[in-house]
Amino acid sequence: MIAMSIRLGPSGPTGPFAKAWRQRPRRPYSPNAPGVGGELHYILAYVFVTGWLVADGSGTWLTLPATWAGWSAWNDSPKTPISYVHRIDVGIKVKFTPLVTAVTDGAQVIEERHSDDGTAYSAWTAVGPLVDARYIDIRVTVSGAYPKIKTMRVILSATPTIEYIEDQNSASLAGAYRIGTGDVRVPITKAYSVIKKVDLTLQSVGPGWSTELIDKDTSVGPRIKIYNSSNVLADAVFDATVTGIKV
């Protein structure tokens, strides 16, 4: 499961004449979320000093207040609606459910579109149903008299699969499962889109024995190597716990 609390961009200039910075209609941004690549755009809005996303003003020199006392906000006549789009690269194609919440001022609509290759995307649709993809865009649109987007939280919820292989003698493995003495693939029986973790325990081998995880192959099974106390490949009985995301 991937969870992100997204602050809507870095604070920018706070002085009254930071107009050029404030009026950029689109601004890319990559959040520092570990393991998650992201790209962000905000439309018809700017980042206020609070970190909130606030509507651009639509006032002109002809419609702006004539005196400082007449100003109630820097963004005179706020535009509506405003939108925020955040792109996530999960890294692999996998099934997950996007769970999204946003704190806003105004009426909000939260949508998603997704893609396998990052180029061809599905149509925008209401967020919530199960998605099977590598890339997903989350869009929050807010409308109202003075629309603001304050925070957004995204959770990509996937179902883990755990498989237990017990009392497996590496010497008895054959075919694609046996590469050589002490060099085998764990005989998985479940279907995984990705394997995240493999835990191994050797039985009755004494001190000095060790194991090495070579890969996390999902078609045949993860490749492991078993070494005896002399650091030589050798067969042994092992238990394995394989954790991943189901297809």
Give yes or no: residues 211 and 143 share one domain.
Answer: no
**108, 128, 157: which is the final residue of a domain?**
157
Q: State pLDDT tens for residues 75-109.
A: 667 888 888 888 999 888 888 999 999 999 999 99
SS3 217: coil
What six digits make up the tokens of 95?
Answer: 């099934």
As for how many domains the chain has, the answer is 2
Give yes or no: residues 130 and 235 share one domain.
Answer: no
**114, 139, 157: which is the final residue of a domain?**
157
Give yes or no: residues 26 and 128 share one domain.
Answer: yes
CA separation for the pair 189, 49 (Å, rounded): 54
- Residue 19's H or E segment, with its range, is helix 19-22
Give yes or no: residues 58 and 148 share one domain.
Answer: yes
- What's the pLDDT score for residue 77? 75
SS3 8: coil
Q: Which of 78, 98, 102, 92 lies closest to 6, judged by CA?
A: 102
Give yes or no: residues 53 and 132 share one domain.
Answer: yes
Q: Which of 96, 114, 94, 101 lies closest to 195, judged by CA?
A: 94
- What's the pLDDT score for residue 42? 52
Of residues 11 and 154, the one with the higher pLDDT is 154
Q: The domain that contains 73 carries what CATH number?
A: 2.60.120
What six digits make up the tokens of 77?
Answer: 């006549």
Q: State pLDDT tens for residues 144-154.
A: 988 888 888 99
Least confident residue range of 7-21, 35-49, 77-91, 175-189: 7-21
Q: Average pLDDT for residues 183-202, to the nearest whole number?
A: 94
Of residues 95 and 32, the one with the higher pLDDT is 95
Q: Average pLDDT for residues 30-36, to the nearest whole number?
A: 33
Segment of 19-23, 39-43, 145-149, 165-169 carrying the highest mean pLDDT: 165-169
Domain range for 239 is: 160-246
Identity at 125, one-letter amino acid code: T
Q: The domain that contains 195 carries what CATH number?
A: 2.60.40
Give yes or no: residues 133 and 21 share one domain.
Answer: yes
